[in-house]
Structure 1
Amino acid sequence: MSEDHRKMRVLLAEDSPLTRQIEVSALKTLGYEHILEAEDGDAAVALLEQGEEVDLIISDWNMPNRGGLELLQWVRKNDRCAGLPFIMATGQGDKAQEQAARDAGATGFIPKPFQARELEEKILEAVGARKKPEKTGKRVPEYTASGKLKLKIAHIQITDHLVLGVARHLIESGVFQPKRFELETQCMGGWNPVRQALEEGTVDGACVLAPIAMDLFAFDVPIRLTLFAHRNGSVMVRSKHGSYKEPWKDFFKGRSFLIPHKMSIHHMLTHQFFSGMGLSAGMITAGRHYDVNLEVVAPVDMPGYLKGNDGTCGFMVAEPLATKTIASGLTDLQFLSSEMWNNHPCCVLAMRRELVDAHEEALLEFHELLVAAGRFIKNRPENSARIAVDFLDPEKTVGLKVPVLKNVLTDPMGIRTDDLYPSKEELDVIQHYMVHDMGIGKLIDLDELVDCRFAEAACGDRQSKALTSPEFSRALAEPRGAKEHDSSRTMLAREGKYLTFALQGQEFGLDILKIREIIGMRPIRAIPQAPSYIKGVINLRDQVIPIMDLRLRFGMEAQDYTERTCIVVLEMESPEKTVFMGVIVDSVSEVKDVLASQIEDTSSFGATIQPDYILGMAKLDNGVKLLLDMEHVLDVII
């Protein structure tokens, strides 16, 4: 990016403080230093009317007082700023919204969440510094040297798409040897990138939310829905910020709730849940008030978003992300999606029509593999859980664990992968509820979208046995945090390898996935006015790392450092970035495997250590270890 672009003054309109902070960080990463922030459309208009010099506007769609569309319309009618490049950024990602933005004069449209490089491309296109790539919208099939069809299938990091991962594993392990296709899976950062790739024809197909597939088809994107990817599998959790007591609806009223996409079964079930409580729920728009404000956030970002926003009451998401937040003490279980609508569809396999029409034999072979993978998951959940860890979290950034995933896959009310036949009747329930009860989407001819040929052959020429009534359960407000079902989820999520160490004669454990390295004591530079337990900073290979004395953090007596004193360098994820932190311990012992059956929950370990700092008590052969929740211990830093 040239120096001229770095000097541009950017007006960013975004009502969510955390999202605005993340987007400002992305702009600064790209070299933009002149950034004006507005909390809604009215604030943006006020800045422009005051004569602020602006070269580019980036605006959210849903904002109170004046939304993004209304802001865009005002800008285009104002002589002084009518020609400004205007990029609409939104997490909703439905086609009707994008079309409305372009009709109103948006220069660019970017679905959230986005990476800095994606934002850079949109900015350069909007200001004319880079030619917009020509997108034909057609998918041209690709082939291997031996003539096999190359299948590129998109997905995201959730267990809902595990059939794709198991299918890939069966190929790589030699159990299944495709004769007519070669499989490439492409993991993406959220639903909007998947939707965009499917629409633009940069992939052959995708595991995608059923309402997204129906929405794309409604706007003439050439796709066919050929298989369900799973049934059930999502969870609603509520934040531990606030008092959850009768009347239950008071806990949710006036707060925000997170969903993964506007066009999702999660949105539908969330709407049904709040409606059953007598609450209205919707996305903030100018002039429209809801009891519960719904915000669209990428699934992998939900835990960090919830942690950074006390005004957010919970979220609904696919596993295993929900179980992880329950285990960390961030949330309590509200309900499983199957309790609202048992055996409901959610994600589907959507294939580009160009391939469906021209490569029936290859796609039949692919669908037979997916159906076999679904049955493999049901019959061999532990093997599937191990496959899932590598498939869904190859970079080990999410922290998935085999016991957690096995528990998710064996929960009788959890995800189902043994019945993938695409039921038009159930899809019709979804589209009618969303159009008539929620006012979103368009009714489509499902006979034109759904192609059952491959499923009929792969599933043994049988239709789904899981067709269920469109009547939904509403009695799900009772608190469930103390149930044994929830406790088992929590303990399984805490199972793993722990580094054990000593503090004042007591043994503790740290999850090794959070440990970067262990180093000896070295000079520490003090930080003025820091808390007593923050000893200062060290320079470790040109990286400045804060150092915390765990003895002092826990209110223990200070002692002189010895030859056995160590600094354990941790690598922790915050909502905006990776944080490195060193903690001083008396000595380190060994790495121990800790099973869920060895962990007990407890509320207190004595007056000096806050209960929030403790994940649980591990009873091992060589004594009791207190497992630390370092996210809470380091809360002052991250």
Structure 2
Amino acid sequence: MALDPQMKILLVEDAGTMRKMEARILGQVGFTNIVEAVDGNDAMEKLGAEPDIALVISDWSMPNCDGYQLLQWMRGQDGFKTLPFLMATGHGDKAYVAKAKEAGANGVVAKPFTPDELKILIDEIFGFKQAAAPKKEEGPKISAEGKVHLKMAHIQITDHLALGVLKHQIASDRKTPRHFSLDTLCMPGWNPVQNALENGEVDGAFILAPMAMDLFSYGVPIKLVLFAHRNGSICVRNKTGKYAKPYQQFFKHKTFYIPHKMSIHNMLAHMYFTQMGLRPGVAGKEAVNVLFDVVPPVAMPEFLKDNAEASGFLVAEPIGSRAITAGIAERQFLSSEVWQDHPCCVVVFRDEILTKYPEAVQEFTTMLVESGLYIRDHVDEAAEIAVTFLDPQKKIGLEPALLRTVLSDPQGITTDNLYPVQEDLETIQDYMTSKMEIGRRINLAEFIDTRFADIACKHAPTASAGGQETTAPRGAARKLGIGQSLASREGKYLIFTLGKERYGLGILDVREIIGLMAVHELPQMPPFFKGVINLRDKIIPVMDMRGKFGMESAEYDARTCIIVVEVSGLTGSRLIGIIVDAVSEVVAIKEQEVEDSPQFGSVVDSQCLLGMAKLAEGVTILLDIDRLMHIQEAVLIGEAA
């Protein structure tokens, strides 16, 4: 007995491109009767209108009402208490999996998922067990010569090229391992790598450092033995749309793709956009105005192409350069420009391999370090190897010339400094847990096993008589950070006045200017909140800027007007009207005309200021309209609207 292919499935996903991809995957596994919803609220309406829905597959992070809230609502309704629910989430850390299951999810699949992953989970939810897999052998195979057969997982990125070079050198008899034979498994994305490592289907993996740390925090028996590379990722922006100062506006209120939540790319993108004065994050987070979404690395160019709602992506090479040569994207920055010599992917082994076969691990580690040096010294041949290793089925369309460019970029990937520096991992852990509030802290000294790198790496630390390190290999932690110059304040501003003070709003935040109109008051609101207006059948909250800034009130007159602006709230962007004394002009302000705001002497919190512009007409205070909204006020305004 099999599932009915006409079973009606409710697919809940706010990102249109991702929704199309997931619907296509459902079609690939035999399900074509799909009802689509854009968020939890829409899903509730669809559930009420179509009672024959048999399965809900929902994204977690969505504006207005997310997947977790939808799940909680369903489990509180008599009609949907037992309706099968599959949570599809870009939250790759294991804490979210546990949270979803505790709330009543029948299954959790990490985005992006494959057809096979989805089919297995749907079958399990409805009680159809997959055919029993062959019983996993205890430990790796041992050849007649006594060699350990190591199975290593990786994906199609240059970060893992040292593994490809080693494989090529073994196959061409340039290297002859005494203690191991090598089998490389190319996975379609990060989730399969994580699952294979966790389930013991592979002996080791080239894996994202934050992902490996997260697995370790949940008791998966692995240890880090080596960095796979340093640097090597690229941020590209969509070629669709005009890229001009102020550059923040190009990314604001658009989707930006990352390969995984537990990735260095998530961290570096968060750093970059935060220092531009933007608020990056997943849907539903506080005042997010750059929306991160998870997409498989090789699929990113396809997602970006002709998609005006997506601003770009940050990913390992050669994916970004391939998108550039295809005319889809333009280079924004290399990851080394944000954090010089940063780690990204690491080499991990399961504990049983480290314990039982240390000679094989040592030989593998030493040869891998040598392969990294070979890439540095033989770029042309490494590029040829990369084409075969990373694109064996010719699906990506890689060419040696492109790989040569990637490998020879002086700010690009490096593979000659692979010693695992704990300080670098501490930087990742500190930033992601404190600034981004994701992941869990671990004891890094227990996670890192440097025995093999100590021997394999040229720059291995030496120990003093007391057993303490006296020298350390080149690390990256002290080179973290990008300049504030990225947050350009140059651009056009709408100037308005309150009393004798002049204020400026970025012109791209302004939607329209209208005269005073009837404002409908609402109870239990802050004094500066005047109520709501009905503008062409759209309810818009209105606040008085004099009241907001604690200034004396003034009689409204013929020059008093309402500026309708777009701001970021808790659940995305919304329109808000602000009452000002008068609007004077639109001016173009150059960066050199703007100075940083003083920490005192203004009625406006300095954190809400972009700076002070010195113009011929006088000093003009440039406002960050998003930061001007406190969280509590955003909640009230959201309720009012």
Same fold (TM over 0.5): yes
The answer to whether the 8 Å contact 2:240/2:307 transfers is no
AA matched with 1:469: R
Structure 2 residue corresponding to 1:451, chosen from 431, 440, 449: 449
* Matching residue of 2:639: none
Question: Contact (CA 8 Å) 2:277, 2:487: kept in 1 or not?
Answer: no
The equivalences for 1:403-552 within 5 A come to: 403-460=401-458, 461-462=460-461, 463-469=472-478, 471-474=480-483, 477=486
Contact 2:149 2:181 in 1 (8 A): yes
Q: Are the aligned partners of 1:138 and 1:200 in contact in 2 as well (CA < 8 Å)?
A: no
Aligned positions of 1:181-220 closer than 5 A: 181-220=180-219
Deviation at 1:5, TM superposition (A): 2.4
Cα distance per residue 1:154-178 (max 9 Å; x no partner)? 1110000000000101110101111
Residue type of the partner of 1:384? Answer: A
Where in structure 2 are the equivalents of 1:365-384 lying within 5 Å?
Answer: 365-384=363-382
Q: CA deviation at 1:288?
A: 3.9
Shift of 1:328: 2.1
Aligned-residue offset at 1:92: 3.1
Paired position in structure 1 for 2:151: 152
Deviation of 1:102 (Å): 1.5
Provide the residue aligned with 1:400 in structure 2.
398
Task: From the superposition, tell whether residues 421 and 198 of structure 1 become closer, same or farther in structure 2 (CA, over 3 Å).
Answer: same
Aligned to 2:103: 104
Q: Which amino acid aligns with 1:112?
A: K
Q: In 1, Cα distance between the equivalents of 2:456 and 2:272?
A: 35
Letter of the 1:449 partner, please give it: F
Q: Deviations over 1:269-299 (max 9, x none)?
A: 11111111111000002x7431100111111
Pairwise CA distance, 1:363: 0.4
Secondary structure class of the residue paired with 2:173: coil
Question: 1:599-621: per-residue Cα shift (whole Å, max 9, x none)?
Answer: xxxxxxxxxxxxxxxxxxxxxxx
Cα gap change, 1:215 to 1:78, in 2 (>3 Å): same
How many residue pairs get matched? 477
Q: Secondary structure at the match of 2:226?
A: strand
Rounded to whole Å, the distance in 2 between the matches of 1:409 and 1:7 is 49
Counterpart in the other structure of 1:584: none
Rg (Cα) greater in structure? 2
Per the alignment, residue 303 of structure 2 pairs with 305
Aligned to 1:611: none
CA distance in 1, matches of 2:259, 2:82: 34
Q: Do 1:139 and 1:204's aligned partners in 2 also have CA atoms closer than 8 Å?
A: no
Structure-2 separation of matches of 1:331 and 1:71: 36
CA displacement at 1:146 relative to structure 2:
3.3
The equivalent of 1:245 in structure 2 is 244
CA deviations over 1:328-365 (Å, ceiling 9, x no partner) = 22211111111111111010001111111111111001
- The match for 1:61 is 60
1:126–1:132 Cα change, 3 Å:
farther
Counterparts of 1:272 and 1:467 in 2: how far apart (Å)? 16
Q: CA deviation at 1:134?
A: 9.4
**What is the CA–CA distance in structure 2 between the aligned matches of 1:248 and 1:75, rounded to whole Å?**
42
Match of 1:346 in 2: 344
Q: CA, structure 1 residues 138+69, in 2 after alignment: closer, same or farther (shift >3 Å)?
A: farther
Task: Give the match for residue 326 of structure 1.
Answer: 324
Task: Tell me the CA shift for residue 451 of structure 1.
Answer: 0.4
Letter in 2 for 1:32: F
Distance 1:476 1:130, change over 3 A: farther
What is the rounded CA distance, in whole Å, between the counterparts of 1:135 and 1:259 in structure 2? 35
Which residue in 2 is equivalent to 1:279? 278
Q: Hey, what does 1:622 align to over in structure 2? A: none
Q: Which amino acid aligns with 1:313?
A: S
- What is the CA distance between 1:52 and its match in structure 2? 2.2
**Structure 2 gap ranges (5+):** 462-471, 489-641
Say whether the 8 Å CA contact 2:120–2:130 is kept in structure 1. Answer: no
Letter in 2 for 1:247: P
Unaligned runs of 5+ in 1: 480-638
**Equivalent residue letter for 2:328:** L
Q: SS state of the match for residue 317, structure 1?
A: strand
Equivalence for 2:129: 130
Task: Kindly provide the amino acid, as one letter, of the partner of residue 108 in structure 1.
Answer: G
Q: TM-score, normalised by structure 1?
A: 0.72
> In the alignment, what sits opposite 1:536?
none
| 1:294-330, Cα deviation, whole Å (9 max, x unpaired) | 1111110000000142110111011111111122222
Partner secondary structure for residue 304 of structure 2: helix
Q: Which amino acid counterpart does residue 475 of structure 2 have in structure 1?
A: A
What is the identity, as a one-letter code, of the residue corresponding to 2:375? I
> Residues 155 and 208 of structure 1 are in contact (CA less than 8 Å); yes or no, is this contact kept in structure 2?
yes
Change (3 A) 1:136 1:93: farther
Code of the aligned partner of 1:238: R
Confirm or deny: 8 A CA contact 1:138 1:201 kept in the other structure.
no
Cα distance in 2, alignment partners of residues 377 and 386 from structure 1:
11
- Is the 2:423–2:475 Cα contact (8 Å) retained in structure 1? no
Work out whether 1:292 is the aligned partner of 2:290: yes
Structure 1 residue matching 2:61: 3-state secondary structure:
coil
Deviates more, 1:360-369 or 1:145-154: 145-154
Contact 1:142-1:150 within 8 A present in 2 as well = yes
Instruction: Please tell me the residue identity of whatever aligns with 1:18.
Output: T
Amino acid at match of 2:399: K
- Contact in 1 for aligned 2:340/2:480 (Cα 8 Å): no
Equivalent residue letter for 2:374: F
The CA RMSD over aligned residues, in Å, is 2.0
Q: How does 1:41-60 map to 2 (within 5 A)?
A: 41-60=40-59
* CA 1:108–1:363: 2 relative to 1, 3 Å: same
Residue number in structure 1 paired with 2:79: 80
CA pair 51-332 structure 1, distance change in 2 beyond 3 A:
closer
Does the 8 Å CA contact 1:256/1:311 hold for their aligned counterparts? yes
State the Cα distance separating 1:369 from its structure 2 match.
0.9
Q: Partners of 2:191 and 2:19 in 1: how far apart?
A: 19
- Match in the other structure for 1:616: none
**2:232/2:334 contact within 8 Å kept:** yes
Q: Is the 8 A contact 2:276 2:487 kept in 1?
A: no
For the 8 Å contact 2:275–2:486, the answer to whether it is kept is no
In structure 2, what residue type is equivalent to 1:156?
A: I
Residue type matched to 2:482 in 1? S
- Listed one character per residue, the Cα deviations across residues 515-574 of structure 1 (whole Å, up to 9, x for unaligned) are xxxxxxxxxxxxxxxxxxxxxxxxxxxxxxxxxxxxxxxxxxxxxxxxxxxxxxxxxxxx
Q: Which moved more, 1:70-79 or 1:266-275?
A: 70-79
Distance in 2 separating the partners of 1:443 and 1:396: 40
Q: Aligned equivalents of 1:322 and 1:174: distance in 2? A: 33
Shift of 1:453: 0.4
Question: Secondary structure of the residue that 1:217 maps to in structure 2?
Answer: helix
Q: Is the 8 A contact 1:139 1:203 kept in 2?
A: no
CA gap of 1:338–1:135, structure 2 versus 1, over 3 A, is farther
Q: 2:4 is aligned with what amino acid?
A: H
Which one-letter code corresponds to 2:329 in the other structure?
A: T
